Amino acid sequence: MAGRNVKLLRVERSALADNDAVARALRRRFREAGVFVVNVIAAPGAGKTSLIVRTIEHLRGWARVGVLEGDIVGNLDAQRVLAAGAYDAVQINTGGQCHLDASMVEQALSRLLLEELDLLFIENVGNLICPTHWVLGEDLTVCLVSAAEGHDKPRKYPEVFAKSDAIVLNKIDLMELSGFDRSEFVRHIRALTEAPLFELSCRTGEGMAGWTEWLWARVRRPVGPMPMG
């Protein structure tokens, strides 16, 4: 009888709206627990774990730092951050998935002493592409690249730089050795974002103070001035 009654529905929503909703719930939970959350995104080997380790060392005695370690398999990084003085750490194995999503983080929280933390790092799976779409309820997204990877990374993966609240250039001790063109790197970063850029070396410790001070100011825990060292 009547023909097909086809109607156009305006939607205008992110295709990942479901993950976004879980992330919003996580954000409320982090707020209630009084925990500042930093999502660290980088390629494998750029120095995510090293940066977290160094930051924990700088904040020792000042902040209780927890870590969620995203990785395809294994728990090496969780052991590393615990050895460095992390208050608690939980390994999340994604079983092949190239990014963490909000429900993985939600599940991992049942194994983490969240209420007792001041700061929580989420080390995302080593990848500059996929993690950018999946918000996790974080206060800050930090994108880390190392001088050894080359200065063309902003041109190749602009979206992660554009989305990050801070950019860390690690392994500056290898800059010369790697033929890293700093001005080329900075020029392209600045086309994408006004976010602060921290140039440092987790090996020598150079530049670490600037990064930790900036982070500490964002965490704004009312426990006192920035520790030195």
Partner 1 sequence: MHELAVAEQLLKLVEEEAQRAGARRVVAVHLVLGEHSHIAEEALRFHFERLTSQGSPAEGAQLRVRREPMRFRCLECDADYAPPAGDWRCPRCGEVGKLLDPGDELRVESLEVEMANTAYEEEEEEKEKEGGRGWPGET
Ligand X SMILES: Nc1nc2c(ncn2[C@@H]2O[C@H](COP(=O)(O)OP(=O)(O)O)[C@@H](O)[C@H]2O)c(=O)[nH]1
Side-chain-facing half-sphere of 119: CA atoms under 13 Å: 29
9 binds, among partner 1, Mg ion, ligand X, none (CB under 5 to 8 A by kind): partner 1
Contacts of 170 (CB under 8 A, 6+ apart): 46, 47, 50, 51, 144, 145, 146, 147, 200, 201, 202
33 binds, among Mg ion, partner 1, ligand X, none (CB under 5 to 8 A by kind): none
For 129, list phi and psi in degrees, rounded to 5: -110, -65
155/54 Cα distance (integer angstroms):
28
Task: Between 27 and 155, name the residue whose CB sits nearer to partner 1.
Answer: 155
How many beta carbons lie within 10 A of that of residue 35, not counting itself? 22
207/200 Cα distance (integer angstroms):
4
146/49 Cα distance (integer angstroms):
13
13 binds, among partner 1, Mg ion, ligand X, none (CB under 5 to 8 A by kind): partner 1
Determine how β-strand 119-123 pairs with β-strand 65-71: parallel
Among 72, 113, 129, 226, binds partner 1 (CB under 8 A): 129
Region binding ligand X by CB under 6 A among candidate stretches 2-10, 21-29, 45-53, 180-188: 45-53
String of contacts with ligand X for each residue 164-203, x by CB under 6 A: ------xx-xx--------------------------xxx
String of contacts with ligand X for each residue 113-132, x by CB under 6 A: -------------x------
Can you give the binding site for Mg ion, defined by CB under 5 A? 48-49, 77
Binding site for partner 1 (CB under 8 A): 2, 4-19, 97-99, 101, 129-130, 132-133, 155-156, 158-159, 162-163, 187-188, 191-193
